[in-house]
Structure 1
């Protein structure tokens, strides 16, 4: 049987889409706390979260992840099923997409036939249930039933079984004896037909045995059970419904493993034998207060999907002790704001919308990736701070963090423990004042940043003095008035998207209606100015992102494109200050870079290149001047689960780029890193270079180099082999020796473009600013 599936794959190869494995440079950081479905198969338990899956091996107890890094789509999962005969996992999605994951090599086959069907309503394509019978699987959907041949890997039929052949929602199917039964919603009852009939596409061959709305239908050892939306379980005998039990709440799932009927409610899992005798009842444990979502039996244990704790494993015969099972990950799959440090990442889950509206308020905690371990702090431990967003890390103490709340103020966290919530009562922060309700309290703190002296600066919306400074050394707060550029009337300053601080102390913030605003303390005469007008070359007043690069140029992301303020030094004195678009040549035609794109974030890496996040078109990696697109990552050519990029943050210690999307968090090892202040810690690796190392592809790395450096590689006799210099021999430009921020890459080739012979080579480093030098020895063995 399995061999025939392999032959079919080879034969149909040109017609299929296989997901690509991106595990070489990418990593997924998905949350597996909320489980949608659970199945058992091939001595494993599979659990589906929002858009990713993990497996638990019943023998080895190993946990493995399956997500976009391995080739999954990243879409919202609705159901999963394991086929023992074909040794593969079927994944159904809300969109109608189906994916198959093969056990033998973890290949992912994507099936888009249902999505591409134009004669089916786009809103009715959800996959609800898989039911295998022989060589086919019956797929229950929101439009009816589709039949897929597992041997030939192709669809063979579709049944629209509603009255007059209409689309109706089918939640589950079951086959018993000669008949296939379909449990339908919206009063369409349970319908049956001869499974052997070749005319099931004709709705007239389907008989309604009972009206009403049914969640599911399952068969166990020639016994048929149906669950109705009035919470009643029935045993169906000769098409007559015999009531067995009514649950206190509407069950979320009804499944069968062939021997047992499993019914999952929010508070319980009930396991029955074929005669509907209770085998086990699993109640919610006081140690894991959560809602149950689905369950599956594996050996002597039952594995219960939850809304907070992934899978809970407990003994089927005595469900008292529970074990929490899921991969490491953040709290949720909706990251809103990121802040990366050295092998460190903070994540919040927001949020406010495009118009800085924070309602409905959310109650979400924070997540901290420390090394390889996730530390998750739930909402119950953050002093009820709602809508947590921007993150700032104390530059003098990485365990000291401030997190903005777009309703409750500013949360201070020390060594992963929330310590203080600053608000209108205990700090210089202010609540907005509603004209209609002066007693209403709402402290909307957003963008924040530390300056080089360790003073924290933050922006508060809907007040006259939005810019606040907090000096940690003396606990003093100061406020700065913006009414010279923002009118005093309520609602004029809805929000501030970003805050960056220049080396000269200028604070730059992006606003919803007033463009880019620059502020400088300037002693007793503060400077305040903004750019927002069309004649200043701004495409819109709404600035969504800011970044200052290593040349003190201000990169400006807006709702409608990208701009750069090249001369930041003279901003306050230049009466004709303007911003510029970046013009590139595309197929010989001059075009504006990222024209009309919604830019959500801009980050500058160690080599002064730019990571530009967009809503709708993925992530761009641009050269330092924007003239070259080094990468353009989308869902089609990368493991991004969505083309809506919410935020980006870079760990300049190792070049890891963390990418928050609307459907989860992933990271990319770019290889770029921050520069060192001197050459003291510079080193080269691997050293020695051994024969098995692919020097041309994987390259020798020279780490911890300074910002402005010259590198010469010579043989032991002093003959020049390769040379590079900062700002000239940049990475991705095709040089044998390239410099990317604080790391240089050598592909092992000499000036004649040949791979060098075995021997000792000297790596000579020269800091062009301080004239410091360092020589490293490198052994190459071929």
Structure 2
């Protein structure tokens, strides 16, 4: 049992709340659980607050939630048996791993099915039985294995009725009860069966007890005799008692009954919200319905014809596949292909973050394009975006409006051809990027001419033949990962079976070359990620480790070209950096440092040469909801790193930025530095500086206070004045390591390449 850390200072969660798994309520708040994050609605102020991995949640899949008004806390249950408790007006989350750590319970049986609060405890229904948790002491009590002979059985829910604790069970184990005040409920012989069958829910409504069977029927239990009340057209998904009313939810309807089981409200699927219901609750005036696609719908209890969508703004899904950053924004796709380039047939839309607002483009607006993956933003017109489909071609979007889909009928794109299968159409587009001239380059699997270029301004397409390298594309290469272009317009392409491919147009006499094997020092033929750094060195990710091509200029001329591993020293022992790790993405920031995502070890941030690990983020020490990183994107203008994991999207404010070409726009903030500003920890930022700069800070009398150079005083090395790409950070200390006094300070900037200078005045008030 431990309290988790709140990371909200530098991290932000971008979670989807379109699908609601569970709803709870109390103290004038409605709590709704998404896949792995929660939001609350204050019914009096209408304020919405999020609770995510940034606040300390685990990021695992939520199965159920319960709110205790007496103890003012929210209890969260997960598919894997984890339990977390979020306290009102507290920034910490309590994590309880007792069930996860039980070795006698199979992992698949640890799912938390239901919480039932009674007095000072909550009864936890699981796939192995019932556990008791004391909300006052915040500790576990007994566990009840209530199956025949004390065996573990699936308990769906529990409810206290009269003097007894009732449990509905699956697997044909019926409904069982035991005296709630008995000190020995751990003894299975104190539990008696009142009926057989599969039961999904049980609830006490004032002086009545109701249970729902898997046969879609609801029964009232009177003196342990079950009496059928109604048969639903769909299996009820939840049943709760609120304010003396009974609320039953199916995928197509919500039923609200009074104390005599008379319907006082029934809410069917609304035409404007084509979805499925998941759960529901009520207060004195409204019904709150969890849905699959629209978050939580709010409608009047007595006139359920007007619906209001309630959910935090977010992307479509919590399974981002590819992301691409722009200034103050981000594009996200959710479809794609497997690690072996097998199409997934995912019919998902696209999400676009603009500033603080998410705009979601649905699948049917994107010409029903499946498996949308890589995103390319036109550098000459940032409102124009191209998104590849690993099935149907390429979609063009302008100002958030899908304009056209390019495929085999209207462009230079081609479908693969399956021998003996006439009329088979499948365009497997993956990696793509723009060059500096605004020409879009993209790759298509299984073609003789897999490399295509497209000029948006003219509509001209060109195709480039790879058969000299891959003579049998249908059988020899499953797909292409990344494509990057260097300053010499060389195209570097990652492939599944042919390692690293270099392609040079060579004035219409193309040259193509591949390196992939042991001789070239590759750990695998499968290149999964590529990135060119500021020194034109090519960083290469594979499914078995990291390599660097240090000399890209001689790639085509050198018969002995090879890639190198990064060797680091750890505890006095030489080791290979990221040895045998599956690399999923590599990004280079303004300081030439490297962000590297992995398939199961989280996210790494390395110094420019890879020798120093600045950060290693995992789900255990950060808000990452998973250690499986699908993609990384950098908004370098704002120093934001976006991280797409297989369980959601988060961002980290690294603070770094790309350098400017000159010092014309350089400025310092905050200015003035006021007494309320924590200069030591929050630091003064000197923004929009050039790549190779010297910075001197002096007092008004010319006494040197601090000095730094771009290639020496880099960030995260403990200097008082640090430089990170286009931003420098000063902690207010002088050479004696004392915080400076109040006064005017001069920040003198000198570009070491162009000899341009600039002086900024900075006022410090202490």
TM-score, reference length from structure 1? 0.97
Distance in structure 1 (CA, Å) of the matches to 2:656 and 2:116: 49
Superposition pairs for residues 129-140 of structure 1, below 5 Å? 129-140=114-125
Distance in structure 2 (CA, Å) of the matches to 1:324 and 1:151: 36
Contact kept? 1:351, 1:387, Cα under 8 Å: yes
- Partner of residue 309, structure 2: 324
Per-residue deviation, 1:625: 0.3
Superposition pairs for residues 350-499 of structure 1, below 5 Å? 350-359=335-344, 361-499=345-483
Contact kept? 1:529, 1:572, Cα under 8 Å: yes
- Partner of residue 175, structure 1: 160
- Partner of residue 16, structure 2: 31
Contact kept? 2:447, 2:473, Cα under 8 Å: no
Bigger shift: residues 739-748 or 200-209:
200-209
- Partner of residue 48, structure 2: 63
Per-residue deviation, 1:541: 0.4
Per-residue deviation, 1:24: 0.4
Distance in structure 1 (CA, Å) of the matches to 2:226 and 2:764: 79
Deviations 1:693-736 (A, max 9, x none): 11111111100001111111111122221111111110011111
Distance in structure 2 (CA, Å) of the matches to 1:445 and 1:727: 40
Per-residue deviation, 1:107: 2.4
Distance in structure 2 (CA, Å) of the matches to 1:34 and 1:86: 28
Distance in structure 2 (CA, Å) of the matches to 1:103 and 1:436: 65
Aligned partner of 2:144 among 144, 159, 177: 159
SS across alignment from 1:534: coil
Distance in structure 2 (CA, Å) of the matches to 1:761 and 1:106: 38
Contact kept? 1:95, 1:126, Cα under 8 Å: yes
Per-residue deviation, 1:484: 1.9
1:508 matched to 2:492: yes
Per-residue deviation, 1:267: 1.1
Per-residue deviation, 1:294: 0.6
Distance in structure 2 (CA, Å) of the matches to 1:546 and 1:164: 59
Aligned partner of 2:220 among 235, 247, 261: 235
1:43 matched to 2:33: no
Per-residue deviation, 1:318: 0.7
1:747 matched to 2:742: no
- Partner of residue 726, structure 1: 710
1:53 matched to 2:38: yes
Contact kept? 2:243, 2:283, Cα under 8 Å: no
Deviations 1:573-609 (A, max 9, x none): 0110000000000011100000000110000001000
SS across alignment from 1:280: strand
- Partner of residue 113, structure 1: 98
Contact kept? 1:58, 1:298, Cα under 8 Å: no
1:214 matched to 2:195: no
- Partner of residue 645, structure 2: 661
Per-residue deviation, 1:201: 1.5
Deviations 1:512-548 (A, max 9, x none): 1110101010013211111101111000001110000
Distance in structure 2 (CA, Å) of the matches to 1:171 and 1:22: 35
1:184 matched to 2:165: no
1:203 matched to 2:188: yes
Deviations 1:748-775 (A, max 9, x none): 1122222211111111111122211111
Contact kept? 1:43, 1:59, Cα under 8 Å: yes
Distance in structure 2 (CA, Å) of the matches to 1:347 and 1:205: 55
1:86 matched to 2:62: no
Distance in structure 2 (CA, Å) of the matches to 1:509 and 1:279: 64
Superposed structure 1 runs of 4+ greater than 2 Å apart: none
Per-residue deviation, 1:422: 0.3
Bigger shift: residues 717-726 or 480-489:
480-489
Distance in structure 1 (CA, Å) of the matches to 2:195 and 2:91: 43
Distance in structure 1 (CA, Å) of the matches to 2:410 and 2:477: 24
Contact kept? 1:750, 1:756, Cα under 8 Å: yes
Distance in structure 1 (CA, Å) of the matches to 2:284 and 2:608: 57
Distance in structure 1 (CA, Å) of the matches to 2:73 and 2:153: 29
SS across alignment from 1:245: strand
Contact kept? 1:45, 1:298, Cα under 8 Å: no
- Partner of residue 10, structure 1: none
Deviations 1:643-686 (A, max 9, x none): 00110000010110000001000000001101111111100011
Contact kept? 2:6, 2:91, Cα under 8 Å: no
Distance in structure 2 (CA, Å) of the matches to 1:685 and 1:748: 12
Distance in structure 2 (CA, Å) of the matches to 1:602 and 1:524: 31
Distance in structure 2 (CA, Å) of the matches to 1:588 and 1:750: 34
SS across alignment from 1:114: coil
Per-residue deviation, 1:473: 2.1
Contact kept? 2:341, 2:479, Cα under 8 Å: yes
Distance in structure 2 (CA, Å) of the matches to 1:220 and 1:643: 44
Gap runs ≥5 in structure 1? 1-15
Distance in structure 2 (CA, Å) of the matches to 1:697 and 1:665: 27
Deviations 1:43-77 (A, max 9, x none): 00000000000000011100000010001111000
- Partner of residue 85, structure 2: 100
- Partner of residue 666, structure 2: 682
Aligned partner of 2:585 among 601, 604, 626: 601
Distance in structure 1 (CA, Å) of the matches to 2:256 and 2:230: 13
SS across alignment from 2:166: strand
SS across alignment from 2:519: helix
Distance in structure 2 (CA, Å) of the matches to 1:685 and 1:298: 49
- Partner of residue 4, structure 1: none
Contact kept? 1:234, 1:241, Cα under 8 Å: yes
Distance in structure 2 (CA, Å) of the matches to 1:574 and 1:174: 75
Contact kept? 1:221, 1:258, Cα under 8 Å: no
Gap runs ≥5 in structure 2? none
Deviations 1:375-420 (A, max 9, x none): 0011111000000000000001111000000000000000000000
CA 1:510 to 1:489, structure 2 compared with 1: closer, same or farther past 3 Å?
closer
1:761 matched to 2:751: no
Distance in structure 2 (CA, Å) of the matches to 1:88 and 1:553: 53
Contact kept? 1:220, 1:258, Cα under 8 Å: no
- Partner of residue 261, structure 1: 246
- Partner of residue 276, structure 2: 291
Contact kept? 1:339, 1:347, Cα under 8 Å: yes
Distance in structure 1 (CA, Å) of the matches to 2:218 and 2:554: 76
1:558 matched to 2:572: no
Distance in structure 2 (CA, Å) of the matches to 1:542 and 1:138: 50
Deviations 1:171-211 (A, max 9, x none): 10011111111111121111111111222222222111111
Matched residues, number? 766
SS across alignment from 1:636: coil
Distance in structure 2 (CA, Å) of the matches to 1:695 and 1:606: 24
Structure 1 vs Structure 2 CA RMSD:
0.9
1:275 matched to 2:260: yes
SS across alignment from 2:713: coil
Distance in structure 2 (CA, Å) of the matches to 1:465 and 1:299: 66
Bigger shift: residues 158-167 or 110-119:
158-167
Distance in structure 1 (CA, Å) of the matches to 2:679 and 2:653: 18
- Partner of residue 6, structure 1: none
- Partner of residue 547, structure 1: 531
- Partner of residue 617, structure 1: 601
Distance in structure 2 (CA, Å) of the matches to 1:69 and 1:146: 29
Distance in structure 2 (CA, Å) of the matches to 1:338 and 1:133: 46
Distance in structure 2 (CA, Å) of the matches to 1:720 and 1:101: 50
Bigger shift: residues 382-391 or 254-263:
254-263
Contact kept? 1:648, 1:659, Cα under 8 Å: yes
SS across alignment from 1:490: helix
Per-residue deviation, 1:489: 4.9
Bigger shift: residues 753-762 or 47-56:
753-762
